[in-house]
Amino acid sequence: MHSQAFTNPILAGFYPDPSICRAGDDYYLINSSFAYYPGLPVFHSKDLMNWQQIGYAMDRPEQLPLEGSGVSRGLFAPAISYHNGTFYIVCTEVSKLGNFVITAKDPKGPWSNPVQLPQVNGIDPSLFFDNDGKSYIVYNSIPPDNKTLWNGHRTIRMYEFDAANLKVKGSEKLLINGGTDTAKHPVWIEGPHLINKDGWYYLVCAEGGTGYNHSEVVFRSKSVEGPFISYENNPILTQRQLDPARKNPVTTTGHADFVEDKSGNWWAVFLGCRPYEGDFYNAGRETFMAPVVWKDGWPDFNLGSPELKYSYPINAQIDKSIERFNGNYLFRDEFDKIPLNIRYSFLRTVKESWYSLTDNPGSLTLRLRPEICAGKSNPSFVGFRQAHIKGYAATAIQFNAAAENEKAGLLVFQNEKNHYYLCQSLKNGQPVIELYKGDSLFLSRAVKIKKGKELFFKAEAKGDQYTFSYALRKNKWVWLETLDGKWLSTKTAGGFVGCMYAMYVTSNGKPSTNTASFNWFEAKNDDDAYQQ
């Protein structure tokens, strides 16, 4: 088989904090999902080139109560491990559960209900199974005696882990206090993973905060309990030293997890961002991959240049039969298959059936409910990640508003305050198309819609702008407005998530029996970096 190259990011759009494990000939990868539901998407690959989503680790309401959580709360930084026929995920649910562990025999699921780990005080837990049968949990935690010596001062701590009974044992060990060089006051040592190789224990961690100064660093020790010595050439991965004005930049790289492939080659998955200008990006933190080499007893990222590349060679071939998560792809859903495509996400835990693929076969029918996307409950919202700097999402909708509070349409959602909503509604008894910026009406335009006829909506991203259009007939797009994209960027809006395109309906706090049917949905990428 001749070598090809994989395309970065390997998971485009909001797929942050990747963790990877290998089980025999199979690789599994998971990501943070915050307040989106189901939680913790699970991906599978045979060759590290072709990735397919096979499920979610937390897809039952009793596993994941997200009611009342802000969109950037919920599930932070999971880690997946495989040992003796069992898969383990440890994670932090920051609002209610704290740190927990879940297990499965099959990573497709079902995964167990969470077992809380109350002694683990911190975030970013990761399990490590040693060759002598012992296992450990490492995590980011508070400074010694909770005395912060500088802003961002954190520690890496460890407990022995009882894998049979899913609980910690023994006493907590302090592995790293502060980071690589405490004289320089390093910030946010986190995202730890342990590796045992050639008689050394390697502790790889993120450092520098999850923004522009993000990096990956490594320590090693002859004992799992330390002392751990910092590598003199740290950081082993960062892009913070590069010219921000470079073409098609990837920034904020870090939070890496390592895997050895079947041939003895090493790779790391990690998060990165693709800004369209400065530190402005809307697609969130994405999953990248790069080769790793071992030199003089230390791991090094083999980027081929200081700048992370959009592709690296790999001994695998693209499988064109599977749905793409990277590169310039077109996703199109005619809603003719049951169940709903696994790629969609809901905002917080779904506890009642408000969407249907069978009420109007060939379309997705959403029930109008009082919940709104600006609240902290579960609205009638079916989201798909914005995976590009340039591209669009579009949908076809059939809807007759019965009152002015009833709305149905296409949402571009970053968080509860920062979103744009292109929708159909009613004003003075007449159908209107409305465009909202957050909860304020930006414009309203009367349209003549024949009852029962389709209306088409489109949101087009182009770097720092979103263009909104509608059509009464397919592909006869009428420009409505172009709005500021930076308002939906992480830099402006804050938080840890990326933008979602969503089919969204609401009755805005009032009861309703109305529904809206979406006849198809599509999202297309057209990013420049992939044209090279």
Q: Is 319 exposed, middle or buried (0-12, 13-18, 19+ CB in 10 A)?
A: middle
State the catalytic residue, choosing from 59, 93, 124, 190: 190
- The answer to whether the beta carbons of residues 37 and 90 sit under 8 Å apart is no
- Helix residue spans in 204-271 (DSSP H): none
Q: Is 403 exposed, middle or buried (0-12, 13-18, 19+ CB in 10 A)?
A: middle
Distance CA 444, CA 441 (A): 7
Q: Is the dihedral of CA 218, 184, 226, 117 positive or negative?
A: negative
* Radius of gyration from C-alpha coordinates of the chain: 23
Q: Residue 45 pairs with which residues in a beta bridge?
A: 27
Active site residue 481: no
Active site residue 130: no
Q: Residue 104 pairs with which residues in a beta bridge?
A: 87
Distance CA 333, CA 503 (A): 12
Q: Residue 167 pairs with which residues in a beta bridge?
A: 162
State the catalytic residue, choosing from 17, 371, 416, 454: 17
482: how many CB neighbours lie within 10 A of its CB? 13
How many alpha carbons lie under 13 Å from residue 42 in its C-beta half-sphere?
Answer: 24
Return the active site residues: 17, 190
